[in-house]
A and B are shown apart, each in its own frame.
Chain A
């Protein structure tokens, strides 16, 4: 299915967030996630099911003021 990851359409064969992140190359990275604007904790990713068109945010530490 197609999901919107950080503003770009991506194809994934996985239907849960943890699997999709792994498939997209985020395995092992220190990131935090939100699905359709709702925060999804790392512990919830394995049981967070995705649907066609879901908006995924994957963020990581960055410089800030």
Chain B
């Protein structure tokens, strides 16, 4: 079981709710993923259209926990205010904290991220910071009060997988007891399986599922991948080696000696 603040979870797959072809496909994908947490956001609401009201009804019917994000925020002030608004609307103190620092890569502004995390943790929020694999930033986020980290695999929506394997492996080794969720950039289920095999606790997927030709089938594929990756991690993978090592015993081989 995975413990994230007050939440005890069976699933290692968190699912984003954006960019699906339709609300019905989103709902089916959440079920196929066997996700227990979905990420949500806040946007300006038109009094006439009230699009947010329909979406919120759909999410509540799914019976899953929500993790609101602060996507689109570029300053500490925007992120903190958005977190407050999200806590009121969604009725949760959990927030996936994003402070974007660069528009081409959507790389987090880690300086602003630490500052916003410090403010929100002090105010009782349970902060899930979207960060890089930088060890020093991770240390600062933990010192700020974060109990979970969400390092990126690759730029959001890029589908590139685990871009910096060395850095991510070092992060995992450096903080063995901190729940680490790979957030962003995964493209196919094998990326997710790899993350779990490396010891990451969970993955958050959005674009790779929502933009697949068949999002529901892809959601199911990711669900299987995280289960396989976790099982492999628990089973204790062998260490890679440079030279061959015969798997068939050589003792008693015919024609030898």
Interface residues of chain A, those whose CB is within 8 Å of chain B, are: 6-7, 24-26, 29-34, 37-39, 41-42, 57-65
Contact = CB atoms under 8 A, between A and B. Distances in A.
Given A60-B53, A63-B17, A29 B45 contact: yes
A32 B53 contact: no
A65 B43 CA distance: 13
Given A57-B44, A60-B52, A32 B86 contact: yes
Interface of B: 16-20, 26, 39-48, 50-53, 55-56, 59, 68-69, 71, 77-78, 81-82, 84-86, 88-90, 156-157, 184, 204, 206-207
Nearest to B67: A64
Given A61-B42, A65-B19, A65-B157, 9 more contacts: A6-B46, A39-B85, A41-B84, A58-B44, A59-B85, A63-B16, A64-B16, A64-B17, A64-B69
Q: Which of A29, A57, A58, A62 has the most CB of B within 10 A?
A: A62
A60 B42 contact: yes
Contacts of B86: 32
Contact of B88 (A6, A7, A32, A57): A32
Task: Give the dominant DSSP class at B's interface.
Answer: mixed
A24 B47 CA distance: 7
Contacts, number: 113
A32 B83 CA distance: 11
A56 to B, nearest CB: 10
Contact of A32 (B42, B47, B55, B207): B42
A62 B53 contact: no
A32 B39 CA distance: 18
Nearest to B18: A63
Given A64-B17, A65-B16, A30 B41 contact: no
Given A59-B45, A60-B89, A65-B156, A31 B52 contact: yes
A31 B45 contact: yes
Contacts of B204: 65
25 contacts: A6-B44, A6-B45, A7-B44, A24-B47, A25-B48, A30-B56, A31-B89, A32-B86, A38-B81, A39-B81, A39-B84, A58-B47, A60-B43, A61-B41, A62-B43, A64-B17, A64-B39, A64-B41, A64-B71, A65-B16, A65-B17, A65-B71, A65-B156, A65-B157, A65-B207
Contacts of A60: 42-43, 45, 50-53, 56, 89
Contacts of A29: 45, 47, 50, 52-53
Given A62-B40, A65-B16, A30 B71 contact: no
A30 to B, nearest CB: 6
A65 to B, nearest CB: 3
Contacts of A25: 47-48
